[in-house]
Amino acid sequence: MARNRFDIDENLESPFDIKHFRRAMIYIRRQQKPMIIAFVLSALSAAISLSAPLIMQHVIDVTIPAKDALPLVGWSALLLVTIVVSVYLATIRSRMMTRVGQDIIFDIRSDLFRHLQQLPFKYYDDRPQGKILIRVVNYVNSVSDVLSNGIINFILEIVNLIFIAIFMFAVDVRLSFVILAGLPVFLSIMLLIKNKQRRAWQAVSNKSSNLNAYLQESISGIRVTQIFSRESHNEGIFTRLATNFRKEWITAVGFNTLIPFTVDNLATLVTTSIYLVGLLALNPADVTFGVIIAMSSYAARFWQPILNLSQLYNNFINAVAYLERIFETLDEPVTVNDVPDAKELPPIEGHVTFDDVTFAYDPGINILENLSFDIKAGESIALVGPTGAGKTTVVNLISRFYNLTGGKILIDGHNISQVTLKSLRSQMGIMLQDSFIFSGTILENIRYGRLDATEEEIIAAAKAVCADEFIREFEQGYQTEVNERGSKLSQGQRQLISFARTLLADPRILILDEATSSIDAKTERLLQQGLNELLKGRTSFIIAHRLSTVKNCDRIMYVSDKGIAECGSHDELMARRGLYYRLYTAQKMEA
C-alpha cells in the first residue's frame, strides 16, 4: 500500500531489458509501409545533399581557376537544385512521420486504456490516479517520437555515416583518418555516462509521477482544502515536489548536454586538425585547397550524424524510463478475469449462497473468515454494523470485483468464479457509495448502463426514484449538461440519478450501498414507496447506517468480527437485545 502516496517513488518490479524494446517494435511494425517510404525519401535526400561538397571542390579547383563564367553558373544552378530537392524530400518525409508518430501514440494509448478497463479494483486501491494518468498521457507522448522518427533516423544516420565515409576516403584517405581520430574519445565518454544517464531519467520519471499525483489529488480535493484553509501548507508540499522534480531534471539534462558538448568540441578539433595537417604536414601538390575545403565540409557532415546519433541515444535513454512504466502497466495482471472455460451465466432468479468464504485485501489480514449464509431469490437483506466490518466487502464479492481467498459464492447454484464477468454483472444493479456522474446530459447518465433504453423507460426509472421532479425543474430537463462528478448537482440529486441508472438495468440482484445517505427525510419517504415496488421479485442487498431505512427488510445481518454476528428480522433482533438492539437504540436516542 506504500505506493498509494504521492510522495513515494515507484520502484520498478522488473528492470528494462532489450526484450522491452523488441516488444515496442510491435507498434513500429504496424506502420512498416509508411516508415519504409519515409526511409527511402530520407536516404535520397541525404545522398543528394552529399554531392554538394564535391560540386564545391570542382568549382574551387577547376571552374574558378579556368575563369569561365558559364560553367560556374551551371554548377551553381546544380547546387541550388540539390538543395531544393533535398529539402523537398525531407519535408514529405517529415509529414509522413508525423502521422506515423501519432498512429503509434494512438495504438499504445488504446492498448493501455483497454487494459486499465480490465484491471481489478485492487490495482486502483494501491495507486494514486495521477500516477496512472501520467502513463497514459505524458509517457506515451514521450516515447512516440523515438518509436517512429527515432528508428528511421538511427538507421538513416548510420547510412549517412557510411556514405560520408565513402565520399571522404574517395577524396583523401589521410585526412579521412584525421576525421576518424576523435571517435575513440567520444565512445569512451558515452560508455562512462550510460548507466548514470538512465538512472537519472528514471528519477525524473518518479518525480514527475509524484508531482502529477499530488496535483490531481489537490484538484479533486480543492473544496476540502479551502474549507480547512490548507492553501499555504499545500503550496509548501507542491513546492517540495516541484523542487525535487526540478533537481532531478537538471541532473538528467546535465548528462544529455554533455554529449553534444563533447561532439561539438571534437568536431572543432578535427576540423582544425584538417587545416593543420593539410596545409602544414602534407605535400601541397597532393592536397589542393579545394580538397581541404571539401574534407572540412565532410568533417562537419561526419560529426553531424554523430551528434544526431548521440541525441537519438539521449532520447532513447529518456524513452527507456517511460517504456518501463508503460510496459509495467500493460503487464499488470488482470487477476479478476474470465477463467479459460468460463460459461455464460443464464438468466437468474437471485438465489445467493456464501459457502465458507474467506477474503483478505492484503495477504494474512482477513476481512471475512469462513462466512456462510443462504439468501433465497427475492429476499431483501440489510447489512449493518460498525464501519470497516466488511459490509461493502460482502457486496463487492457478490459482484466479483475481487477474487476470494477461500470458499465460493453461488448464484442459483452457479459458482460465480466459473462464469463470465459480463454475464454476471449485467444481471446486477449496483449503486456504490460514490455516486459518480459522468460529463454529459442527465439522460445519458441514466442510460449509461443500458444503452438501448428508450427515453420513456429512462423517465419511468427517474419517476420511480423520485428524480423526475427535480430533473424537470432544470431549463433543459433531461438534456441538461452536467459536469464530471456532477459538481452542479447536490449530493442527493447525484444519488437519485445514480439510483435511476441502476434501476433502469432491471437487475435480478440489486445492491444498494448507502443509497439514501444523502437524501432528505421527505425525499427518502417518497423514494421508499418506489423501492418497495421495485424490490418485489428481486434479491436485494442494502447497506445502510441509518437503521430506520432497513426495518422492513426480510433479514438484517449484523456484520462484525469477520463474519455475521447476528441475523434475523428487525423484530427478532430487537427481541434478542444484542448488538443490533444496542445500535438501533443508540440511533433512536441520538435522533
Residues 299 and 436 both lie in one domain: no
Q: What is the predicted pLDDT for the residue at 2?
A: 41
372 assigned to some structural domain? no
Q: What is the predicted pLDDT for the residue at 522?
A: 63
Q: Are 406 and 357 in contact (CB under 8 A)?
A: yes
**How many residues in the chain?**
591
2 assigned to some structural domain? no
Residues 223 and 114 both lie in one domain: yes
- Give the angle 287-291-296 at the CA atoms, nearest 5°: 120
Q: Which domain holds residue 522?
A: 379-386+427-590
491 assigned to some structural domain? yes
Q: Are 320 and 197 in contact (CB under 8 A)?
A: no
Residues 465 and 581 both lie in one domain: yes
Q: What is the predicted pLDDT for the residue at 459?
A: 92
Residue 173 has pLDDT above 70, yes or no: yes
The dihedrals phi and psi of 433, each to the nearest 5 degrees, come to -60, -40
- Rounded CA-CA distance 293/285 in Å is 15
DSSP 473-527: HSTTGGG-EE-GGGTTS-HHHHHHHHHHHHHHT--SEEEEESTTTTS-HHHHHHH
Q: What is the predicted pLDDT for the residue at 192?
A: 79
Q: What is the predicted pLDDT for the residue at 493?
A: 81
Q: Are 431 and 507 in contact (CB under 8 A)?
A: no
Contacts of 5 by beta carbon, 8 Å cutoff, 6+ apart: 128
24 assigned to some structural domain? yes
The CATH number of residue 433's host domain is 3.40.50.300
pLDDT band at 536 (very low <50, low <70, confident <90, very high): confident
Q: How far out from the chain centre does Cα 523 lie?
A: 40
What is the pLDDT averaged over residues 431-436? 69
278 assigned to some structural domain? yes
403 assigned to some structural domain? no
- Rounded CA-CA distance 393/422 in Å is 20
3-state secondary structure of 268: helix
Q: Based on DSSP, count helices (H) and strands (E) in the chain, helices before strands.
A: 22, 12
What is the pLDDT averaged over residues 404-432? 90
Tally of CA atoms within 13 A in the half-sphere of 52 that contains its CB: 19
Q: How many CB atoms lie within 10 A of CB 303?
A: 24
Residue 74 has pLDDT above 90, yes or no: no
Q: What is the predicted pLDDT for the residue at 483?
A: 74
The CATH number of residue 152's host domain is 1.20.1560.10
Which of these, 553, 429, 427, lies nearest to 498 by C-alpha position? 429
Residues 185 and 292 both lie in one domain: yes
pLDDT band at 352 (very low <50, low <70, confident <90, very high): very high
Task: Name the domain boundary from 330, 354, 369.
Answer: 330
Residue 567 has pLDDT above 60, yes or no: yes
Residues 192 and 315 both lie in one domain: yes
The DSSP output letter for 376 is: -
Q: What is the predicted pLDDT for the residue at 1?
A: 35
155-171 pLDDT per residue, tens: 777 877 887 788 778 77
Which of these, 285, 316, 94, 318, lies nearest to 200 by C-alpha position? 318
Highest mean pLDDT among 146-150, 151-155, 541-545: 541-545
- Rounded CA-CA distance 56/51 in Å is 9
The C-alpha cell 601538390 sits at 285
Q: How many CB atoms lie within 10 A of CB 272?
A: 12
- Rounded CA-CA distance 154/312 in Å is 7
Q: What is the 3-state secondary structure (H, E, C) of 426-458?
A: CCEEEECCCCCCCCEEHHHHHHHHCCCCCHHHH
Which of these, 131, 249, 137, lies nearest to 200 by C-alpha position? 249
Task: Name the domain boundary from 291, 306, 330.
Answer: 330
Residues 458 and 316 both lie in one domain: no
What is the pLDDT averaged over residues 396-405? 91
Q: Are 573 and 556 in contact (CB under 8 A)?
A: yes
The DSSP output letter for 419 is: B
299 assigned to some structural domain? yes
Q: How far is CA 422 from CA 401, 428, 512, in A?
A: 12, 10, 20
How many domains, in total, are found in the chain? 2
337 assigned to some structural domain? no
pLDDT band at 55 (very low <50, low <70, confident <90, very high): confident
